Structure 1
Amino acid sequence: MGLLLLPLLATALAGCGIRATQVPTDFGPAPSRLPCSLPAAESTASADPGIPVQVFLVCAEQLVAVDRSVRISGGAAEAERRVAVAQSLLDELSAKPTSPETTAGYSTGVREGLRVVGPDARDPENTFRLSVPPKRLGPAELAQIICTFADSEATAADNGTIILGGPAATPLNRYTCTTGLRTHPASQDPEPKAVGKS
């Protein structure tokens, strides 16, 4: 009798496992790209001729550098060239992100039409004056400009800092692209340091 029960017991134990289901499941397509990750082939700088630069866009609530390419007219004096580069960087920041960038989660808070000029007569030579006073810019907007300018050899001042002001007669401040500014652009104080006229 005991020998007859052994096969039945083995069959019962085998049935305790999890069997594959035949019910179809659909959780949607797998993510095609990690957030803030762009294939090198889709880089704007690799596709367009010109001077390679980087601009800082917002992605996952942080500032992330993205490759760009800008065209600057030849033959300009150094001071004029620096302003031309600064304006090109602003134009890139205010432009709508490309389709691959939008898909990867990039955005920009820099307004269109923002202009930049060089120093007034009594300003330090590496000053940039924006058409809107920096204190009137949104936090992330100002952070994007600070870090983009500070990252560029053409627009950075001493030790990777930048000197920004608004239209003539508005005070000047020196800014640094800190780690806190890159990781929390919407809430981190840029900690401006006043700059006196010469």
Structure 2
Amino acid sequence: MNGRRTRAAVATALLAAALTGCGIRSTEVPTDFGPAPSRVPCVMSGPGIAAQSDSEVSAQVFLVCAAQLVTVDRTVRVPEKGASDRARIAQALLDELAAPPSEPEKDAGFATDVRGGTTVSGPAEGDPKDALRFSTPPQELSAFALAQIVCTLADSAAASKDHTVVLGGPADDSLRRYACTTEVRSRPGTVAPPAEAVNSGK
């Protein structure tokens, strides 16, 4: 009996030594899945804003990065024709938001949820003079897209004096005055821009 116990103990010791020599630890799960993913910096490196022409202006637009809104510098081409200066600026910024991020922006983790094809016009009859009418009603936009648009326009010459923006859909759509807050910029997917109804006078 003692001989059997001795042989079993020796076999166990040899097995443990073999496992250790192979680098295997029976109590751990292998976790070698390659290098750890790099953290999204939301900061771009490279040249700044390019030289501008008479129809181009430097501006900041809000893109999505790490589930937040972060500004990036852009050179924006303003249309020569439009219903009003405010509408022209808003259209230029909207088109810029809808453009795919550049390679440096993609590398830094930036994205946009704004889709192209939406046009902007000035106030309809009876609207406040600072109203902007979208071909797509703002309430039909995604949460991220609406936050991007509101925060970008509120920080531009298209905004009202109090840095809010009055937006609506086509002429029969109701108007709302939107604001961009710190909470919206930090959680655009879950916190909607504060909005209040605006009387269009109709």
TM above 0.5, yes or no, is yes
Indicate the percent of aligned positions where both proteins have the same amino acid. Answer: 46
The number of residues matched between the two structures is 166
Whether the 8 Å CA contact 1:173–1:194 is kept in 2: the answer is yes
Name the amino acid aligned to 1:59.
Answer: C
Q: Of residues 121, 131, 136 in structure 2, which corresponds to 1:127?
A: 131
Q: CA deviation at 1:80?
A: 2.1
Partner of 1:51: 57
Deviations 1:177-197 (A, max 9, x none): 000110000110222100002
Name the amino acid aligned to 2:64.
Answer: V
Question: Is 2:87 the counterpart of 1:83?
Answer: yes
More helix by share: 1
Q: CA deviation at 1:81?
A: 2.1
* Range moving further from structure 2, 79-88 or 96-105: 79-88
Q: CA deviation at 1:40?
A: 5.0
Partner of 2:11: none
For 2:77 and 2:126, the matched residues in 1 are separated by 30
Whether the 8 Å CA contact 2:180–2:194 is kept in 1: the answer is no
* RMSD between aligned residues: 2.2
Question: Is 2:112 the counterpart of 1:140?
Answer: no
Q: CA deviation at 1:158?
A: 2.9
Q: Which runs of 5+ in 2 are unaligned?
A: 1-33
Partner of 1:159: 162
Question: Is 2:177 the counterpart of 1:174?
Answer: yes
Whether the 8 Å CA contact 1:155–1:162 is kept in 2: the answer is yes
Whether the 8 Å CA contact 1:119–1:125 is kept in 2: the answer is yes
Whether the 8 Å CA contact 1:72–1:81 is kept in 2: the answer is no
Q: Of residues 67, 77, 81 in structure 2, which corresponds to 1:71?
A: 77
TM-score with structure 1 setting the length: 0.77
Q: CA deviation at 1:84?
A: 1.3
TM-score with structure 2 setting the length: 0.75
- Structure 1 residue matching 2:69: 3-state secondary structure: strand
- Structure 2 residue matching 1:54: 3-state secondary structure: strand
Partner of 1:93: 97
